[in-house]
Amino acid sequence: MDGRFLDDLARGLTVGTIARRRALGSVGGALLGAALVALSPKPAGARVSARKRCLRRGGRPVPQSPTDNFHPCRCALTCDSTDLAKYICSSALPDCACRETAEGPGFCGWKGGSKMGCSSSAECDGAAGERCVINRRCEGSGGACTTPADCPTAAHGCVDGTCQIAHCFTPCPV
């Protein structure tokens, strides 16, 4: 609201050219408009800066999983990641880090689980909630594959046609 609007409104109320009900409606509409602007989503630039921050610290930007709402996880660690503290999902759980699943979304994984060299979370222990986690930018990763047998070691899975170090991780305790 600019100052002229309020001045005109006050003058109209004093002189009697504006009805009180109309004045209240105008003020209410202006306040509602201001509230809607304040509640609107952040511009795309804010999301870009979070992505750039993640890349600068050696992480991999990942979408947050729609099913893992307890720990927010949008920047997964990689083999290049030097400071694990930057990827911790919860300050109460310092061993719980954001990791990238073979399916793409972030996952707050606590420790290695049942299988090395997985290619999808379907190969992990579903009853324990394990997910296949890939570690990008590891030495020996990146070659083309159609099956894990095409990859250099048993620790590699064939994820989306690329050899990646991968193994099943258990979720962080709630």
> What tens digit of pLDDT does each residue of 143-163 get?
899 999 999 999 999 999 999
> Which residues have CB under 8 Å from 139's CB, separation 6+?
79
Q: Are 87 and 97 in contact (CB under 8 A)?
A: yes
Tell me the pLDDT tens digit for each residue of 58-109: 888 898 876 665 567 888 988 877 777 788 887 788 888 899 999 988 888 8
What is the predicted pLDDT for the residue at 45?
52
Share of the chain above pLDDT 70, in %: 68
Which residue(s) pair with 165 in the sheet? Answer: 156
Mean pLDDT of 46-61: 80
> Which residues have CB under 8 Å from 153's CB, separation 6+?
117, 140
12-21, 77-86, 95-104, 132-141: range with lowest mean pLDDT: 12-21
Q: Are 91 and 129 in contact (CB under 8 A)?
A: no
pLDDT at 174 over 60: yes
Domain residues of the chain, as ranges? Answer: 3-39, 46-171
pLDDT at 123 over 90: yes
